Structure 1
Amino acid sequence: MHLINIFIIFFIPFLTVTTAQIPSPWIPGHPTPEAPGLTFLYTSYVVCLNPLFQMQGPTGIRTAIPIVGGNFTGPRLHGEILDLGADWGETDPQTGIFSANTRYNFRTHDGANIYLQTSGPSQADGDLHLRAIFETGDKNYYWLNNIVAIGLLHQVAKTDTDFTLRIDVWHISTDRNSTTFVNGTTYP
């Protein structure tokens, strides 16, 4: 009998809460939320070698594309792209859509290293829509660790051995644009 009382006290309210209908987040007649603004971050020109290989994986065809150089320029950062990365993108066998999966490094004009990851699907016109994630310990660029960035990629040149991509990147305008550390110092 004691176990039945425990069940009634603890589990019946839980079942009631979890089965209640969740209200719709959008109510007809109410305005659609305004899209967030974007702030330009940089344009990069990324030099890639032709793919090294393709292999069948459990979720698609993986392609290894070396990233061997380039540059980036924006209002708050500029520098070179190091010969230290690759795109390990994958093509979905159901749709033929290629999705980038990159890891590479920026080196700013003042010597900061910024690790960069991008991912995102190809579009019907061949361009890619990207999500960008940054990682750095440099105090002047630490704010990059805490932004939400998107990019548009398209190919601008091709030779027999390599190709060049242009990637334009923006971040949400209300993102942090500086970092205050626990000791109270703020950069930049």
Structure 2
Amino acid sequence: MKGFFGLLLGLAASVTAQDTPAAPGLTYLYSLNCTLGQALPVGAGPHGTRTVIPITGGTFSGPRLSGKVLDLGADWGLIDKDGTFSADTRYHLQTDDNAHIFIRTAGPAQADGKIHLSIKFETGSEKYYWLNNIIAVGVLTTGNGYVAIDGWQLDSP
């Protein structure tokens, strides 16, 4: 048993002595501008207070995809006990070449007012099928009646 713990301690020491691994890179996907409807407070729940914000349209554009945001979705945002807002969206994109992409985002507001998002895509389009298999992140900036999101794909180091 002593040998096992010694081995674990040796492994832990060798891991901490290694250099920091290379950070993954980011590839720009698109910039999205999304119009919003009137917020509807739906009240308190076990994880905080939820507000539904309808997504009413918009556009997105990037090097590999562009199109419009359809009026099919909302942000079911949550404000936790400490007052931090976290986005929880589901909505629908239609590319300029008529492919349909379901999108989900989630993430908390930061001290600077921006919201850091994880982005998940779902599509049956052969051309955009690659979106189903990526990890994507975004930065959301709020405006008066709209939000702007810049999205990136996470790349291997």
Q: How does 1:13-162 map to 2 (within 5 A)?
A: 21=8, 23-24=11-12, 26-28=15-17, 30-93=18-81, 95-156=82-143, 158=144
TM-score, normalised on structure 1?
Answer: 0.75
Q: Aligned partners of 2:112, 2:57: CA distance in 1, in Å?
A: 25
The CA distance in 2 between the partners of 1:100 and 1:155, in whole Å, is 12
Q: Is the aligned partner of 1:170 residue 2:157? A: no
Partner amino acid, structure 1, of 2:52: A
Structure 2 counterpart of 1:8: none
Q: Of the two structures, which has the highest relative contact order with CA contacts closer than 8 Å and spacing of 6 or more?
A: 2
- Identity rate, percent: 48
CA–CA separation in structure 1 for the residues paired with 2:8 and 2:85: 38
User: Equivalents in 2 of 1:63, 1:52: separation in Å?
Assistant: 6
1:164 Cα deviation from its structure 2 partner: 1.0
The one-letter code of the counterpart of 2:68 is: E
RMSD (Å) for aligned C-alpha atoms: 2.1
What TM-score comes out, normalization by structure 2 length? 0.90
CA distance in 1, matches of 2:49, 2:155: 36
- Structure 1 unaligned blocks of 5 or more: 1-12, 175-188
- Number of positions where the alignment pairs a residue of Structure 1 with one of Structure 2: 153
CA distance in 1, matches of 2:68, 2:105: 17
User: Which residue identity lines up with residue 16 of structure 2 in the other structure?
Assistant: I
Q: What is the Cα deviation at residue 26 of structure 1?
A: 3.3
2: CA distance, partners of 1:120 / 1:96: 14
- Cα separation, partners in 2 of 1:120 and 1:74, compared to 1, 3 Å: same
Q: Within 1, Cα distance between the matches of 2:109 and 2:78?
A: 10
Amino acid across the alignment from 2:155: S
Please identify the structure whose Cα radius of gyration is greater: 1
Q: Give 1:21 shift.
A: 4.2
1:55 is matched by which residue type in structure 2?
G
Deviation per CA, 1:117-141: give whole Å up to 9, x if none: 0000000111100000000000000
Amino acid of the structure 2 residue aligned with 1:57: G
Give 1:89 shift: 1.1
1:181 is matched with which residue?
Answer: none
